[in-house]
Amino acid sequence: MFNFLKNLKGDKVMATAKLSKTAKVRNLFAKGSDVSWKQLRNTYDLKSPAAMVGKLRNEGMMIYENRGSKGVSYRVGTPSKAIIAAGINAVFGKQVAYSA
C-alpha cells in the first residue's frame, strides 16, 4: 500500500516533514542568538523579514530589534515589568493596573 516508503531492498524509509519558513525562523530564534535582517532575507529567502518578525510577535514571541552600524538585528528576550504593566493596562484598563 505504501510502497513509496520502501527502498529497493525492501527496508522501510521514514519521510521527514518539511518545515515552513515560519517554523524555521521560530526555531532559529529559539536558539537564543542574534539574527540579522540580512540573514533572514538571504538564508531563509524572506521577502520581508520585518513582516515575519511582526507575525512572530503577534504569536507571542518577545522579539527586540537592535539597530546598529552593521544594520538591524533581532533577538528574543524576556519582557520587562513595564511592558507587562502596559499590556495589562491596555487589555484590562487602569482599574486592575499592575504596579511595577
Write the pLDDT tens digit of every residue in 48-96.
999 999 999 999 889 999 998 888 999 998 888 888 888 888 888 776 5
pTM: 0.65
Alpha-carbon span 29 to 92, nearest angstrom: 30
Pairing of strands 71-76, 35-36: antiparallel
Q: Which is nearest to 52 in space by CA: 32, 70, 27?
A: 27
Q: Is the dihedral of CA 9, 14, 20, 24 positive or negative?
A: negative
Write the pLDDT tens digit of every residue in 9-46.
656 666 678 888 899 999 999 888 889 999 999 998 88
